A and B are shown apart, each in its own frame.
Chain A
Amino acid sequence: MAITKRADKGSTLTHNELDGNFTHLEKKFTITNSGSGAYVFSGGGTSSDSNPTLYLQRGETYTFAVNATGHPFYIKTVSGTGTGNAYNDGTSNNGVEVGDIEFTVQHDAPDILYYNCSAHSSMAGTIHVVKANYSIDDLSDVDTTTTAPTSGQVLKWDGSKWAPAVDNSGSGSSNTFSNIAVGGDTVGADSTTDTVTFVAGSNMTITANTTSDTITFASSGGGGGAASITSSNTAPNSPSAGDLWWYTTDGELYFYYDDGDSQQWIQVTTPGPQGPTGSVSVTTANTTPSNPSDGELWWNTNTNKLYIYYVDTDSSQWVQATTPGTAGTNGTDGATPGRNKFINGNFDVWQRGTSFTATGYTADRWKLNVSGSSSTLTQQEFTLGQTDVPNNPKYYLRLVNTTNSGAGDFVYFEQRIEDVRTFQGETVTVSFWAKADAAKTIHVEPYQNYGTGGSPSTAVAGADQSVTLSTSWTKYTVNLSVASITGKTLGSDNNDYLSILFWMDAGSNLGDRVATGNQSGTFEFSQIQIESGSSATDFEQKTLDETYSDCLRYFQKGNTGEGGTRNRHYSSIGSSICFGGTISFKSYMRAQPTITLSSHTLYGTATSVGLQYNSGIGFAIKIGTSGAGTYYTDGGTYDADAEL
């Protein structure tokens, strides 16, 4: 058996029983005619098809077995009747009516050929000449020649054509993962059944969209990350990628970065400018405040020290902010000026004299009251340089009580403070320096007098307080309650007052003052003060001028004559009463005072001296004369007394 021709793909072999050979059957179309209307094709991919469009492959040989008498079958380059434009390249028997046309399609054959009946235009069809093997570049909108494709690339539309490109979303190299590493574990894509499963942790959701082939990881709020956050002044040991470190020294935040070939802490924040300081808590207590904050202040009331709560990079503690100095003596500047309502509490002014034995005013504003006892009140001068009583007072008051035993006997001194409104309804503090010849108890008593004239309320003696004096100078303090004057009635003479009484001797008839009892002895006082409230402050220092001016409202004395001593006049008519001059008081006095004239020596015709009038701001002297002529007085003085 011999094979005479290699079979083409798609062809068949037929066994010839006569010669015992197999022959290759060419691709063959059997063609008849349907009248003059069309060729009818069978075989070669056709089946009684009228004028079918044929697709012939270059290099292949086809047989057109024509049996159409009267209808010459031509293969042409241009469709149309007649014999022109016949395409004979590789063609045999082109134009037969009955017979075979063998057509070996040339590789340079036109892409389009036609078959026609040379006599009938309706008997025609198209032949597409096609290649044996197509490249994708044969497509008109594909260009794989300008840029040759490389392995792994795909065609992508670049806006005008399909061209080779990497298989990812953008430009750059293509990355293909075959393994996914998590920590030290690796999931390898080494099997068709390998599956990577994502599990959402806290505060995270994972959603998949099968339509868009998208997996979405989303935070559902809060942190939830596993990154370590360390606040320290040193870098954390063995950090992991993504860890955060707050550097407390400089206030900077660092991120631990691992780029595959190096690891380092990278500063992710730059400290901003220092913000304004907020409010700071300040605690005054004798114990340490709990839960303090940096910068908080604490005044320790036990030690009088100020502390600040200090937080540094590695510790926190209370740090003393100040170092206290030695305690100084209390000054007077901090207390209220004019707080001492006693006038001449320092016993600086003694206009009436320096020794007294009977009831009456003694040192200015201080009144001695004696009944049945023998008492002497004197001005005493401190020893120079003494330090027993502070502030270097010059004088002190001494009261010596020698005989007393009667039930009605008493000795006390007092100061009447003008206006009963003073300290009404208040607690007052009376303080004084004092001593006695032996331990002696005295009583201090408030007394409110509503004055005279009209129908004033009855005077009120308040509860007294006792003080036991020692034999050395000591400062004593008593608190007194001064009654309210609400509902009381003042007299019309404007002479109401609050008095503070210092009882040294009080017989059994003296009512509330009985507790003092009959008592003799020597009592000495200095720097007496009364002020509002229940605490004593230091004695309020005043200048001598200040005290003297204060005293003048109640008592003053001076000369009545011209030039200080002489009061000379001339009377031509010899009147029995003649003008002797006017005297103005040194300052306004509390009330129209009682005038006492003393030491007037009469000269000339003068026979007597008296007070002509008293206006309250001054007075006039009158002089009795025996006849016309010069008369005068000399050396005269006056006392003006407006005490309560």
Chain B
Amino acid sequence: MNITSAYIEQLNGIDQQIVAEIDGKAVFVPLVGGNRHYREIMDQVEAGTLVLANTVNIVEE
């Protein structure tokens, strides 16, 4: 699993998901441990092989 970028996207200030590019595709990863992509991202972040980019907060009008 090749993860080239990832950041946390918030909705109205609340963490919503991780937007990442995995194996060349933009994916939306839910913040649940049972999701293998989320687990991999967290493993790589923990291992220092991946750094999460700045969080993006989307505010609904």
A77-85, A343-351, A538-546, A589-597: which lies at the interface: A589-597
CB-CB < 8 A to A391: which residues of B? none
CB-CB < 8 A to B17: which residues of A? 611, 613-614
Choice from B19, B32, B34, B38 contacting A610 with Cβ under 8 Å: B19
Whether the pair B36, A595 counts as a contact (CB closer than 8 A) is no
CB-CB < 8 A to B19: which residues of A? 610
Give the shortest distance, in Å, between A368 (CB) and chain B (any CB).
Answer: 12
CB-CB < 8 A to B2: which residues of A? 358
Give the shortest distance, in Å, between B31 (CB) and chain A (any CB).
Answer: 8
Shortest Cβ distance from B39 into A: residue: A452
Q: Give the complex CA separation of A610 and B10 in angstroms.
A: 13
Q: Give the complex CA separation of A595 and B29 in angstroms.
A: 7
Give the shortest distance, in Å, between A375 (CB) and chain B (any CB).
Answer: 16
Shortest Cβ distance from B31 into A: residue: A592
CB-CB < 8 A to A611: which residues of B? 17, 28
Give the shortest distance, in Å, between B37 (CB) and chain A (any CB).
Answer: 4
Whether the pair B33, A495 counts as a contact (CB closer than 8 A) is yes
Shortest Cβ distance from B38 into A: residue: A594
Within 8 A of B (CB), among A592-644: 592-598, 610-614, 616, 619, 622, 641-644
Give the shortest distance, in Å, between B12 (CB) and chain A (any CB).
Answer: 11
Known: A577-B60, A611-B17. A592 touches B27 (CB 8 A): no
Q: Give the complex CA separation of A521 and B28 in angstroms.
A: 37
A327 at the interface (CB under 8 A from B): no
Give the shortest distance, in Å, between A450 (CB) and chain B (any CB).
Answer: 13
Shortest Cβ distance from B59 into A: residue: A577
A1 at the interface (CB under 8 A from B): no
Whether the pair A573, B61 counts as a contact (CB closer than 8 A) is yes
Q: Give the complex CA separation of A644 and B28 in angstroms.
A: 17
Whether the pair B58, A577 counts as a contact (CB closer than 8 A) is yes
Give the shortest distance, in Å, between B61 (CB) and chain A (any CB).
Answer: 5
**What sequence of 0s and 1s flags, for each residue 343-372 of chain A, a beta carbon within 8 Å of any chain B beta carbon?**
000000000000000111000000000000
Q: Give the complex CA separation of A345 and B38 in angstroms.
A: 27
Whether the pair A359, B1 counts as a contact (CB closer than 8 A) is yes
Whether the pair A594, B11 counts as a contact (CB closer than 8 A) is no
Whether the pair A597, B28 counts as a contact (CB closer than 8 A) is yes
Q: Give the complex CA separation of A616 and B22 in angstroms.
A: 20
Give the shortest distance, in Å, between B9 (CB) and chain A (any CB).
Answer: 8
Contact size range, A = 20 to 34
Known: A495-B33, A612-B11. A596 touches B1 (CB 8 A): no
Give the shortest distance, in Å, between B55 (CB) and chain A (any CB).
Answer: 15
B53 at the interface (CB under 8 A from A): no
Q: Give the complex CA separation of A250 and B34 in angstroms.
A: 82
Give the shortest distance, in Å, between A582 (CB) and chain B (any CB).
Answer: 14
Choice from A493, A573, A595, A613 contacting B32 with Cβ under 8 Å: A493
Give the shortest distance, in Å, between B60 (CB) and chain A (any CB).
Answer: 7
Shortest Cβ distance from B30 into A: residue: A592
B45 at the interface (CB under 8 A from A): no
Whether the pair B30, A596 counts as a contact (CB closer than 8 A) is no
Whether the pair B33, A492 counts as a contact (CB closer than 8 A) is yes
Whether the pair A360, B23 counts as a contact (CB closer than 8 A) is yes
Whether the pair B11, A613 counts as a contact (CB closer than 8 A) is yes
Q: Give the complex CA separation of A566 and B11 in angstroms.
A: 25
Whether the pair B39, A594 counts as a contact (CB closer than 8 A) is no
Q: Give the complex CA separation of A495 and B35 in angstroms.
A: 8
Whether the pair B16, A596 counts as a contact (CB closer than 8 A) is no
Whether the pair B37, A641 counts as a contact (CB closer than 8 A) is yes
A453 at the interface (CB under 8 A from B): yes
Within 8 A of B (CB), among A470-494: 491-494
Shortest Cβ distance from A359 into B: residue: B1
A202 at the interface (CB under 8 A from B): no
Whether the pair B33, A597 counts as a contact (CB closer than 8 A) is no
Most chain A CB inside 10 Å of its own CB: which residue of B26, B30, B38: B30
Known: A577-B58, A611-B17. A358 touches B28 (CB 8 A): no
Given A573-B61, A611-B28, A614-B30, output 13 extra A-B contacts at Cβ < 8 Å.
A359-B1, A360-B23, A453-B34, A575-B61, A593-B30, A594-B28, A594-B29, A596-B27, A596-B28, A614-B28, A641-B36, A642-B35, A643-B36
Q: List 16 A-B contacts (CB under 8 A).
A: A358-B2, A360-B1, A360-B23, A493-B34, A591-B35, A592-B30, A592-B32, A594-B22, A594-B36, A595-B28, A597-B26, A597-B28, A613-B11, A619-B28, A622-B58, A641-B36
4 nearest A-B pairs in the assembled complex, by CB-CB distance:
A493-B33, A591-B34, A611-B28, A592-B30
Chain B residues with CB under 8 Å of chain A are 1-2, 11, 16-17, 19, 22-23, 25-30, 32-39, 58, 60-61
